Structure formats: C-alpha cells, structure tokens
Structure 1
Amino acid sequence: MKKTAWIFFVIGILYASYLLLLLSLPYLEMRRGIDFLKTKQFIYHIKHWRYSFYIHVFTSILIITSGLFQFSKTILSSYPKIHRISGFIYLTVTLLISGPAALVMSFYANGGYPAQTSFVILSILWIGSTFLAYHYVRKKDYERHGKWMVRSYALTLSAVSLRLYSYLFDVFHLRMDPTDLYILLSWLSWTLNLVAAEIFIRRGLVKRLLANR
C-alpha cells in the first residue's frame, strides 16, 4: 500500500474507531433502553445474549486498533515487538472473546433469518480466518499468515462498513423498507470487504509488506 493511501486508511480507521467509541460510551450505564437496545427489549432478559452484546461492544475498538498495527511496514520492520504484541491482542480477543460473542449475537440479529444467516456466516468466517492467521504464524509461514490477517481484518471492519453504508443510504435518500434495508446492509457489510481483501492479496500487497522482513 502506497504511503499516502496508507495514511488516509489509518486516519479513516482511527476516526471510525473514535465514532465507535462515542457510540459505545452510553452502554456503560448498562441500561436496557439505550440506543440500539431499544430494538432488543424482547430478548434483553436472555443473559447469554446480553453478556455477548456488552462484550462485543466494549472489545470492538480494541480489536480494530490492534489489528491496524499489523499492516504497517514501518512497525513490522522497525518495531517488531509492537507488531507481535498488537497481533497477540488481536488474535486472543477475537478468537476467545469477541468472536464467540458475535456468533451468539448473530442468532438474534434483527431482520429475521436472512440477516441472522448473514451474521452467522460472518462470525464463522471471522473466527475461522483469524484462527488460520494464528495457525500460519505459529508455523512461521508469514505470507499465508499475512493473507489470512487481511481477510480477518476485512471482516473485523464490517462493523465500520455497516454503519458507513447505512449513512450513505441516508445521505443519498435511498428509501427502502427498514427490515429489507437492514438485511441488505447485513450482507454488504462483509461481502464487499472480502472482495476488497482478495483484490489486495492478489495484487501482491502482502508480499510487498513482507519484502524486507
């Protein structure tokens, strides 16, 4: 990734993380009638869903920011310890905490079976790609590790793209039935990200990142 493009990418992700932080802060009150939870009144009493929701909300920013450090050539070559520590945080939190929580939540997603199916697939792919990234780094196969990290992080960013696409629909006044819109967004949020990840990989950008390793 060219330096200018990388800088804009980092700024964009950091700004998105800041917005997610602002959206997450109200949930510290642990009250059932806050923002998104207003649509979940009929399942808020289900403990495993409620715990999964708060876990996922409060770990999302940590995962997004720690994952971002994995794609800096400067950090990888000059500060490998930062790369390893942030990678450990990303893999551990995704595989053991936030990924399982996301999978639990996906079975209760708004939009019925179409949206639930989308989020179940997303969660399984997210956990699976992250596990393969872990598997290959353990085998010191850094190129495959890098490719699976790109896929994993693309799925991580579905939390950002979901909100971005929703915002764009509002900006361009694209009117749809709210349920149909949410179903559409649930699929667009991660499928387009995976397409972008595959383009990134096939253009050899992972190899370039590892070139001086």
Structure 2
Amino acid sequence: MKPAINTWFKAALYISFAFFCLLMLQITGKYIPLGTDTAFLQIKQSEVHTYAYYLPFFYIHVYSAIFCLPAGFTQFNYKLLKRNKKLHRLIGYLYVGIVLLLAAPSGLVIGWHANGGPVAILFFSLLALLWFWFTLKALLTAKNGEYKAHKHYMMRSFALALSAITLRLYKVIIVKIWAPPPMDVYVLVSGLSWIPNLLFVEFLIRYQTAKRKVYI
C-alpha cells in the first residue's frame, strides 16, 4: 500500500510542477518581444524611465529565472544521479551558473525597486542574497566532496527558486480571499513567497538527519 501511495504522490508532484512550469513559461512569454510597458512593467514606468539599468536587469531576471525551475528540479532525481552522474553534474552547473551570474544578482537589483515600500524591498533583497549564498555553498560543498551538505544547500537554494511559483500562488489566494490594496499584497507576498518554503526545507533537513541517526 505504501509504495502505491508514494507512486501516486510522486506522480501528483511531477504533474503539479509541470503545470506551474508551463504557467511560468506562459508568463515569461508575455515579455517576448522586449517592451518597456509589457505586463508588470506597466506599473514600473517610473523605474523604467528613471533608471537606465532597471529594464536590462528586469529582463535578465525574467529570462534566466525560468530555467532554474526545471534545472533545479532534476537535481533531486535519484535515478538520474545514480545512472548518469555526468548529466546530473552538467545540469547542476547550469543551475548554479544561471543563479550566481544572472538570476540572483538581477533579482537583487529589481528587489531594490520592489513595490510595497521598505518591508517588501527588505524581503525581496534578502531572498536574492540568500538564494545566491545557498547556491554558492552548494557549489563549494560539492567541489569539496561534502555531498550531504551539498544536498542540503541545494534543497535550500531550490526552495528559494520555487518562490517564483509560490509568490504567484499566494498572490492569487490573498486577492481572492481578502482583496487588500495592491501595495499591501506585495508586502505580504514579499515574505510569504519564500520564508515558508525555507522553513519547510529546514524542517525536512532536520527530520531526515534525525531519522538517519535513529537507524545508525
């Protein structure tokens, strides 16, 4: 019975992730071709016309972050790790390169111009900094052969990458249930989009570590 439940759970997880990846791809597609007033940029006209760097960094973030989701997800595929370590390593380097060189730095820049004021700016900036740090630590621990620590840092990094999905999910839920002013929504999702993800992963890491000690 338990293997069947695990199979159904994994299937539901893969289907849900594929659905949200397609949704993110659709959102990204709105920004092709490049424009100065497309979708979200309609409410960022002040930044677009005041800061010459804003638009390039915005598009770097939009176009790079979408690749982090599938690339990061494959890193937790046990079969891929065992059967094709070279492919696992290659995709891992792709994920790390995108995060460290493109997605996280650009996220920090646009985070400084986040809607919602100082609180939203603080949370989005912390998100970008922690994403960079955990990803860098994942790379360094892998190079040092500390594979358990590498796995844990990758879990933390990917939890923050998933904020692209959870941000939009919480945004829809908050608007549907409470319908607060738009700027209040940004303040709420600036923290909700990633803090619960990270807390869940920290719980999971500690649970797995404690469980492993029981069997030793």
Which of residues 22, 29, 39 in structure 2 aligns to 1:25? 29
Structure 1 portions without partners, runs of 5+: 209-213
Q: 1:3, CA displacement in angstroms?
A: 4.2
* Two-structure CA RMSD over aligned residues (Å): 1.8
Q: Which residue of 1 aligns with 2:200?
A: 196
Identical amino acids, percent of aligned pairs: 34
TM-score, normalisation: structure 2: 0.90
Asked which structure has the greater RCO (Cα within 8 Å, sep 6+), the reply is 1
Cα distance in 1 for partners of 2:73, 2:33 equals: 29
Per-residue deviation, residues 126-151 of structure 1 (Å, max 9, x unmatched): 00000000010010100000000000
Q: State how 1:4-23 maps to structure 2 within 5 Å.
A: 4-23=8-27
Counterpart of 2:98, as a letter, is: V
1:58 aligns with 2:63: yes
Counterpart of 2:183, as a letter, is: T
Q: Which residue of 1 aligns with 2:156?
A: 151
Which of residues 114, 117, 122 in structure 2 aligns to 1:117? 122
Q: State how 1:1-213 maps to structure 2 within 5 Å.
A: 2-45=6-49, 46-171=51-176, 173-204=177-208
Q: 1:11, CA displacement in angstroms?
A: 2.1
Cα distance in 2 for partners of 1:170, 1:183 equals: 13
Q: 1:108, CA displacement in angstroms?
A: 0.5
Counterpart contact for 1:10–1:68, Cα < 8 Å: no
Cα distance in 1 for partners of 2:205, 2:31 equals: 37
Q: 1:167, CA displacement in angstroms?
A: 1.6
Per-residue deviation, residues 16-65 of structure 1 (Å, max 9, x unmatched): 11111111112112122211000100111323211111011111221111
Superposition misfits of 4+ residues, deviation over 3 angstroms:
none
Cα distance in 2 for partners of 1:3, 1:74 equals: 14
Aligned length: 206
Task: Indicate the structure (1 or 2) with the bigger Cα radius of gyration.
Answer: 2
Q: Which residue of 2 aligns with 1:211?
A: none
Structure 2 portions without partners, runs of 5+: 1-5
Cα distance in 1 for partners of 2:96, 2:8 equals: 28
TM-score, normalisation: structure 1: 0.91
Cα distance in 2 for partners of 1:101, 1:47 equals: 14
Note closer, same or farther for the CA distance 1:195–1:89 as it changes in structure 2 (3 Å cut).
Answer: same
Per-residue deviation, residues 73-94 of structure 1 (Å, max 9, x unmatched): 1111112222111101000110
Note closer, same or farther for the CA distance 1:3–1:71 as it changes in structure 2 (3 Å cut).
Answer: farther
Note closer, same or farther for the CA distance 1:149–1:164 as it changes in structure 2 (3 Å cut).
Answer: same
